[in-house]
Amino acid sequence: MANCIFCQIISGTIPSSKVYEDEKVLAFLDITQTTNGHTLLIPKEHVKNVLDMTETMAQEVFSRLPKVARAVQKATGAKGMNIINNNEEVAGQTVFHAHIHLVPRFDEKDGIDIKYTTHEPDFQSLGKLAEQIAKEVV
């Protein structure tokens, strides 16, 4: 797709700092570097996001994820890693070519704040929601 920045990176029109490449996927350093080593893993075939991926494409991309994540962690000396995927604008997606963020974590004060709410779960509501979702899995 000519106007897609990631497709331009894949084609070599725009430079990138590649960390992994094969016939199906590309991984390169994110120019924002949320933390040192922040890497993006993308399919070479243009697809808007994970919600639009075929099962085969998802297998191709996600099967490379552990290998690239371990390499990033080892090279940076990170103690952990957030693996983040945003789908659609409301979820924070800004580049509409599927991509997975590998964000190395060094300590609790490295610039990322993910908060989880803690409250007593409503198991009845959770059960109903699980049933609704399960009906949609095809």
φ, ψ at 8 (rounded to 5°): -70, -35
Contact 84, 101 (CB under 8 A): yes
Q: Which helix (H) or strand (E) holds 126?
A: helix 123-136
φ, ψ at 51 (rounded to 5°): -65, -20
CA 94 from centre of chain: 12
CA distance 91 to 127: 25
Catalytic residues: 99
Contacts of 111 (CB under 8 A, 6+ apart): 34, 35
